[in-house]
Structure 1
Amino acid sequence: MIEEELIRLRRHFHKYAEPAWMEFLTTVKIIEELKNYNLDLYYGKEIYFNKRMGLPEKSILESYKNSISISDIEKKEEILDSYTGLIAVLDTKKIGPNIGFRFDIDANELCESNSLGHLPNILNFSSKNSFAMHACGHDAHMSIGIELAKILASNIKKLKGKIIFIFQPAEEGVRGAYSLMNNPIIDKLDYLAGMHIGMDVKSGEIGVGSHGFLATKKIDIIFKGKASHAGASPEKGHNALLAASSAVLNFNSLAQHSMGEARINVGKLNAGSGRNIIANKAKIEMEIRGENENIISYLYDGVNRIVEGSAISYDCSYEIEIKGQAPSLISYDEEFIKNLRNYYKEKSYKLVDANLKGSEDIAYLLNEVRKKGGKTVHFILGSNLKDSHHSEEFDINEKDMLRGVDLMVDFVKYIEKIDHIDYERVENENFAYRI
């Protein structure tokens, strides 16, 4: 029954894939799935306490909103204003720890394969949106989160404390987690767990305590010059394309650092309006990644210097905007992770090394909980993938989702077993404080 529900949910979310800040149908579906359980649901503007980064262009948002129909629910307009995602709280009314889980909900900006051998095509659940595809497994993450919430809510009498389910928008492009920072619900977590499916870990295996989180910044750069006729009066033009090209070539001088891994990549460069016109505008879309914050600062400072120098050389102005970012991961509580790994081994889970090899904005939330004295973990849920993450033929082994639910249920059992912190209720507060 649970496995059937997981597959039903996953295929629904896969079919109605929505990219970052456009998870309108997705948010409403999660609300509809959870509203009849013993959960307090928070959504819309009330869960946001920081700026939202990298919002889509208004024309794109309006076009998509006009193409869909959403049932009338409370705060519908706020959701349609890109205040997507939600936080569900299960309050047992008994003193105990605040245990949090985070599940990302957005799809990739990618057109799904139309291959006849692609399972979503065979079974008719491929994405209806040509501009979005769940090519990273977030459809599975949401499904696991929803079923986990239902199971725990149905067993509330066996639990203590509060369990918080964070359905976070806009993980792709590392944009969403920052906007939820300083949320009082998240601030009072004693434990926080995150999870990702796949990541080169095979079906039947799990990673406990993922490492390899790279700090990152997603950057847009716009050079503004002056257009002119390339034949008649080239000297009157200020070539934004050449300024951008010079910057792109020089960025690669920054890609090494003695303190750890450093990455820099320019993914897009758009410029100009015609072959006989000096380009008056150029836009670069790029990213930097680093093993720690020192490396990210080094790379970002270098990008700024190079852009400034290129602009001066070609007599252009420029703008730099951060469209998304995430930190590297503060170290876990080593004893907690060691004991947790032993616990899962005793329960016959097969553990492997969990190297993320990339960036994930859950690091914001994990770090914040750690700074305030809480304990954190990130899991990798193994799955034999049909193709790599972010590819048009990406697909998971759906049977692995049930293992994901078991993994999270067992995490709650472990915390409720080992947690011996004293808690007190604070007058007029909904959450327990660590004391």
Structure 2
Amino acid sequence: MSLEVVLFIALALILLAAGITIGRKSSLSLSGSTVQTVPVIEPINFAEPSDKSIQQMMDQLPVTPETVKAYLNVAKTLRQKGQYDQSIMVYQHLFGRANLAKVVNQEIQLHLAQDYYNLGLSNRSESLLMNLVRENSVFRFKAIAELVKIYEQQKDWQNCIHWGKQFGRKISEQQKKALSHHFCELAEVDIRKRAYASAEGHLAKALSENKQSFRAWLLYARLMVLWDHPKTAMKYLQKAIQANPVFIAEVFSFIDQQEVASFARDVREMIHTISGLEKMPSVMADKLVKDKQLLLSLGRQEINSKVVQLLINQADLSNVPADLTAIIHWTDKHLVSHTSHQCSHCGFELNKLEWQCPSCKSWETVSDKLDWEAQLSGNHRKVF
């Protein structure tokens, strides 16, 4: 049974429960009185919904506490189909109705704000969300989360932080991680402006939100290098790797940019002392850390069969995985690939590291696609 038929049957049941008859427009005489029946309401074709069919439903179906659920189901289905302009038609038709409960009107207001955002009408969305926060509605925290999304899109990091703080004790770990990145964004702006003291303040706040922030520790190391404190920079790089070894390539990218060769050499030596490096997404991690130049190459994503051959030549052959052909095949394939990074949350692929996924907007879910263990086991992992 098709989706539109199911929804139409549900709509009919709701209307019948409310004492409304669906039928052809006619007049019946009963004991001298005339009873008017309601015109036929055609089911909406959700595969190709038209403004006309939606308008007909709104013209013929009264908005009551009994029928509002049917309206909301129709709007929800339109949203799922990406028909935001038409779901907005329905929500606008319902919004502000005096005969609906306050909480229902607030729910409608939240969905309307979300669909305005989906259509790029951020100002309208922001206004409705602000109202929900001021009213201290049951949807207050959902409204705050939507406001943060708007300001992230606008790269208004100060407002992101202001509204992120409004979660108070209700803040989730993911929201704390996002808040930490908002402070890191401000720190990067400060570093570009050479406002180093301000950058240090923002990084301290970033770490207060998430002590395991690889990005904050890496930026701290960058700041220490700018202040000519290489030993402190080394300590912060070590903290970065321990916080999240998945992003170790960023450390090698960082040291490759440094002009002082001795500093880069010392950092590579420091890698050997890191505990927990087995978390690096590679079954070859123990081999890679033994060859600094090889690891540096991987950090620059120069992954190809020559790199693998270098590994084979320098490694103890008795400890090398048997299926070397699989490794070489994969690296050749990676060489011609157009993307080097992937989001673990939605599977979106891109050419460089982004701290926020451009697709699903999750923070710190994009990393290097290199995963030797998955390739060797034949599991081509792609998380959606």
Query: For this structure pair, what is the TM-score category when the shorter chain's length is used for normalisation?
Result: under 0.3
Taking structure 1 as the reference length, the TM-score comes to 0.22
Kindly indicate whether structure 1 or structure 2 has the higher relative contact order, using CA contacts under 8 Å at least 6 residues apart.
1
Taking structure 2 as the reference length, the TM-score comes to 0.24
Query: Which one has the bigger strand percentage?
Result: 1
Query: Which one has the bigger helix percentage?
Result: 2
